[in-house]
Amino acid sequence: MTASTATSENLYSVEYDIDSSDLLCAGKIVLTKDMQLILFADGKTESREEYRCDFNEVKELQINSHIGCASLEAELKNGDRVRICRFTQSCLNQISEFIKAANYYIETGEYTEINIERTVCPKCGKHFIVNTQICPNCSNKASIVGKFLALGKKYMPAFALSGVLVLFCNVINLIIPLVNRILVDDYLFPASEGLEPWGDKNPVLMILILILIMLACYVLIRVINIAAARMRNATSAKFINSVRIKLYDKIQVLSMSSISRRTTGDLIKRVTEDTSVITEFIKSETVWMIEIGVIFIGVSGYFIATRPLLALFVFLPVPLVLFAASRFWGFINRRYEKQWRLSSTANGILHDIIRGIRVVKVFGTEKSEIEKFSNANRKLAETSQQNEQLWALLFPLLGFLVGIGEFLVLYFGAQSVLYGIDPELGYSIIGEPLTLGELTQIMSYIGYIYGPLRWMTSLPRSIANAVTSMAKLNEIIDEEPDIRDKADAITPEIEGNISFVNATFGYKSYEPVLKNITLDIKKGEMVGIVGHSGVGKSTMINLIMRLYDLNSGKLLIDGVDIKDISKETLCKSIGTVFQETFLFAGSIYDNIVYAKPEATPEEVFAAAKIANAHEFIIKLPDAYNTVVGENGYSLSGGERQRVAIARAILRDPKILILDEATASLDTETESKIQEALQRLIKGRTTIAIAHRLSTLRHADRLIVLEKGKLAEQGSHEELLKNKGIYYNLVMAQRQTTKMADVKK
């Protein structure tokens, strides 16, 4: 989320929350375009100015930590140091980012946006839904639902038809109590009193006809309900399946910066659990909504037309219950939001433990991990238990309050049936006296109303869960990827020339990792990139693979800006071998052919032979059909690496990237992999990163990075003669190796 963007008057504006009187406030720090740093204690109206200074006089902004709070301070160019404001920990993140961006502006004069992942809503102060920028309190629920349903436009006619069938069923349902009233008042009650008001009609035949009518209604309702349910279930399954595919497709095209902001568990949960929540809501709750609407309108119309006072009795408790529910719901929603966060935390711990089980086993930390998960699960269980106990108390209570009208109707209705007109009053307070059949009909209708109304007391909970899930899916689907093809992207035959021209890049633009890099790599050249950790070696290859785009400058492939080349063309022209080799949980053959799905078996075998992998593969019980398990756990590190090299060879790339491809391997295995790599790099532009500098001594050229800048370049021998940064790196590594040998 962007915490601050340039406006017509301001470069930056961020929040602080302790004013000059040491009281909490909703303050704002503003850096204007005319270089004035201003503090407003009232951030909404900007009416009370607390501090102002000329930013041109500022040398550097800094944070000074205190107990329970911190202060923003400025070191001025004249040597003075001034305190600008104080703030609590809740403002620390955004003010820290503001300082970095402002100091970068002082140094370079370049404006960069501040990107801050907030955890609380700036409007209401409530926590966002975990791993999202969605506020459950401020978000527009109707917009969220509408945007989600727009994804399934082609399924709406089927849903509408299912709704019409449900509507028809409920209309039929209203007929049954009417037929029952006729049966009681015209045939059963007269017979019990010894009366014969039916004249020439055969009562037994008429009773049979009425029973058959009710039976036909019941059968018709069941048949239509089955058809509607089948249609609804099939349509909702297709709809959610299309949403899952769309969501998965979107995750695939999101940039690395987007993916890295979210955990693997969170993304999996959105694709599986959140879509399941929505499916259940569509299949179950929407049906009840239709039933409630039809029954409420039909029965309300009947009561108002025939027994308006009874209608008052029936609906008298409803406003009271809705008011009570609205008062309690905010509290209940916060409780379930807490439960949701604890559930997400427990799932995250479980995912991390299972994914890193090898590390857990190696360090023998099973007990501590069990305790960690147990604590998280216990908190979740306690909160869940408290919430369910509260709900178990509140839901029946609200249901009872809803049903009070039923007792009033039963009392006055029964009195009307027994006595007719009240002898003391001289009239019936509910109008014309009721018959037994009419009272039976009314009580059936009341049951039709109160059942759905009781369900409505739990509806907000279901709606909240469904809307939350919809919002989380919308967030992914609506996100625009940072890296995408231009409309007129080209598909050239890539030869392998690479050029960085004044290239600057930072994962946050005001914290550049690479600074003004200008470098040419020729077709077929092998270049090694060396330097201390964190100088930007991996960043350079990430840029070549276009996992990220430069903040400024250009990256050219064969003289063409990399942004103008289609991603598909680029991917087909680049092969990679990483230190941490990832293999899919399939066969060895599947993992090799992954690079080129249309490859023939002969091509796969040839690639494996070049990679020195064929020899060990054919010795396995199932050879190329051997299932390697999750991430290739059944193979050794060297075997996994050779499979990865075979995969890269099969693609036959023009540009080859080797990122620590031989690290952490024994000497014998490394020699086999080095032999395979030497075959692989022939005729290709190769860019290699290696921890062991000795493995790069045969490179055509070495690039030395220092503090994000290109410090040295040349061959291994040339750089050693210069006795610069590379020389010091080599000497330090040799010294480390000698110390290790002495210890042995």
- Please report, for residues 127, 362, 486, 597, the alpha-carbon distance to residue 377 in angstroms, rounded to integers and kept in the order given: 21, 24, 47, 44
More confident residue, 426 or 276: 276
* Residue scoring higher pLDDT (324 or 160): 160
Mean pLDDT of the chain: 78
Which DSSP string do the residues of 452-488 spell out, in sequence order?
HHHHHTTHHHHHHHHHHHHHHHHHHHHPPPSS---TT
Among 68-77, 278-287, 578-587, 657-666, the range of highest mean pLDDT: 68-77
Using an 8 Å Cβ cutoff, are 505 and 540 in contact? no
Average pLDDT rounded to a whole number, residues 406-421: 72
Q: What are phi and psi of 287, to 5 degrees?
A: -65, -45
Q: Residue 352 above 80 pLDDT?
A: no
Identify the pLDDT of residue 1: 36
Q: Report the range out of 110-114, 679-683, 704-708 with the highest average pLDDT.
A: 704-708
Q: Is the pLDDT of residue 701 over 60?
A: yes
Average pLDDT over residues 106-119: 74
Percent share of the chain, pLDDT over 70:
82
Q: How many residues does the chain have?
A: 744
The answer to pTM > 0.85 is: no
H-helix segments, 562-620 = 567-573, 588-593, 601-610, 614-617
Average pLDDT over residues 27-43: 83
- Which band of pLDDT confidence, cut at 50, 70 and 90, is reported for residue 670? low
The token pair at 694 is 């000795």
What average pLDDT does the segment 221-240 reach? 87
Confidence of residue 472 (pLDDT cuts 50, 70, 90): confident
Within 10 angstroms of residue 633's Cβ, the number of other Cβ atoms is 11
Which of 4-13, 176-185, 432-441, 478-487 has the lowest average pLDDT?
4-13
State the pairing for strand pair 114-115/2-4. antiparallel
Residue predicted with more confidence, 708 or 738: 708
Which of 45-59, 110-124, 275-289, 337-351 shows the lowest per-residue confidence on average (mean pLDDT)?
110-124
38 touches 30 (CB < 8 A) = yes
* β-strand partners of 552: 504
What is the percent of the chain with per-residue pLDDT over 90, rounded to a whole number? 1
As a whole number, mean pLDDT of residues 169-175 equals: 82
- What six digits make up the tokens of 664? 């952490």
Check residue 119 and give its pLDDT: 63
Q: Which pLDDT score is estimated for 710?
A: 87
Compute the average pLDDT of residues 222-233.
87
Q: How far apart are the first and last CA of the chain?
A: 53
pLDDT at 657: 86
Most confident of 136-140, 275-279, 729-733: 275-279
Do 670 and 694 touch, CB atoms closer than 8 A? Answer: no
Residue 459 has pLDDT above 80, yes or no: no
Looking at residues 368-374, what average pLDDT do you find?
83
Dihedral of CA 510/512/518/522: which sign?
A: negative
Confidence tier at 196 by pLDDT (50, 70, 90): low
pLDDT 10s digits, 566-603: 888 888 888 888 777 778 878 888 888 888 888 888 88
**Mean pLDDT confidence for 236-258:** 82
pLDDT digits (tens, 9 = 90+) for 717-728: 888 888 888 888
Please report which confidence band the pLDDT of residue 129 belongs to, taking 50, 70 and 90 as the band edges.
low
Q: What is the pLDDT of residue 744?
A: 47
pLDDT at 191: 57
Q: Determine the pLDDT at residue 329.
A: 66
742 — pLDDT class (breaks 50, 70, 90):
very low
- CA-CA distance, 77 to 55, in Å (whole number)? 10
Expressed in percent and rounded to 5, the helix, strand and coil fractions of the chain are 55, 15, 25
